[in-house]
């Protein structure tokens, strides 16, 4: 039981680190809506809701070619996206 608890704690810490790092960007593109239910005298009418939609961007690591003299390691967050403004979910 103790091993399972320790493994679970490590997995949760790893998931938090992954989401907090620049290698995973999760943004909501469509909000959720609840289903609408109306009840009359002897009739119940229900309209479906809407599930939320998310866009997930994962990072990549590129290492420069030694022949070019570019030996820097860049993540997708820092390679070409500096200064761009990202849209926010409504």
**When comparing pLDDT for 33 and 58, which is higher?**
33
Backbone angles phi, psi at 25, to 5 degrees: -125, 115
Closest by Cα among 61, 57, 75, 74 to 19 = 57
Are 19 and 25 spatial neighbours (Cβ–Cβ below 8 Å)? no
Lowest mean pLDDT among 29-33, 54-58, 80-84: 80-84
pLDDT category at 18 given cuts 50, 70, 90 is confident
Please tell me the predicted confidence (pLDDT) of residue 61.
Answer: 67
């Amino acid at each position: 039981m103790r091993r399972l608890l320790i493994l679970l704690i490590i997995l949760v810490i790893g998931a938090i680190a992954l989401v907090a790092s620049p290698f995973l960007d999760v943004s909501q593109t469509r909000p959720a809506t609840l289903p609408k239910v109306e009840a009359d005298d002897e009739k119940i009418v229900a309209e479906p809701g809407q599930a939320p939609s998310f866009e997930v961007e994962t990072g990549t690591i590129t290492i420069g070619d030694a022949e070019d003299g570019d030996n820097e390691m860049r993540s997708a967050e820092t390679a070409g996206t500096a200064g761009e403004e990202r849209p926010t979910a409504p």
